[in-house]
């Protein structure tokens, strides 16, 4: 099974979960984008004030909490893409092509400089 197939299965399971609870009425793009932002903030909280080394070495308990926040983000992003009819895999592939043009290896390797300053 491909990753795209797995993503499609997850999207279908999520849509069924939402439909069973009659939550689609609340899942408009505005609300989903706001929920996505809130979940991203909850993810950031786990790393706030950690050094880069500490962030690389999360405890098992912290990592388990981070995994759940990441899952929330993925689920809200999937719902948003479903509501807007966006193929996330195609969009991500398109974005990688655009980023490769913005950040050519010969100019950006080893640098964190924004593309317009390279």
Residue 30 lies in a domain: yes
Residue 67 lies in a domain: yes
For residue 11, the domain's CATH number is 1.10.287.1080
CA dihedral defined by 95, 113, 38, 81, rounded to 10 degrees? 0
Q: Indicate the number of domains in the chain.
A: 1
pLDDT single digits (tens) 42-55: 999 999 999 999 99
- Domain containing 71 equals 3-105
Residue 115 lies in a domain: no
Residue 118 lies in a domain: no
Residue 114 lies in a domain: no
Question: Quick check: helix, strand or coil at residue 86?
Answer: coil
Angle at 98 between CA 7 and CA 67, to 5 degrees: 35
Q: What is the pTM of this model?
A: 0.90
Residue 117 lies in a domain: no
pLDDT single digits (tens) 61-86: 999 999 999 999 999 999 999 999 99
Would you tell me how many other CB atoms lie within 10 Å of the CB of residue 30? Answer: 9
Confidence of residue 114 (pLDDT cuts 50, 70, 90): confident
């Amino acid at each position: 099974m491909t990753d795209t197939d797995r993503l499609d299965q997850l999207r279908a399971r999520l849509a069924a979960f939402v439909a069973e609870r009659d939550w689609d009425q609340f899942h408009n793009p505005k609300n989903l984008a706001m929920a996505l932002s809130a979940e991203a903030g909850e993810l950031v909280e786990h790393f706030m004030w950690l050094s880069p080394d500490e962030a690389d070495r999360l405890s098992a308990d912290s990592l388990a909490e981070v995994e759940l926040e990441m899952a929330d983000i993925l689920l809200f992003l999937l719902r948003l893409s479903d509501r807007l009819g966006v193929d996330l895999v195609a969009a991500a592939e398109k974005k990688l092509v655009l980023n490769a043009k913005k950040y050519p290896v010969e100019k950006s390797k080893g640098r964190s400089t924004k593309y317009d300053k390279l």
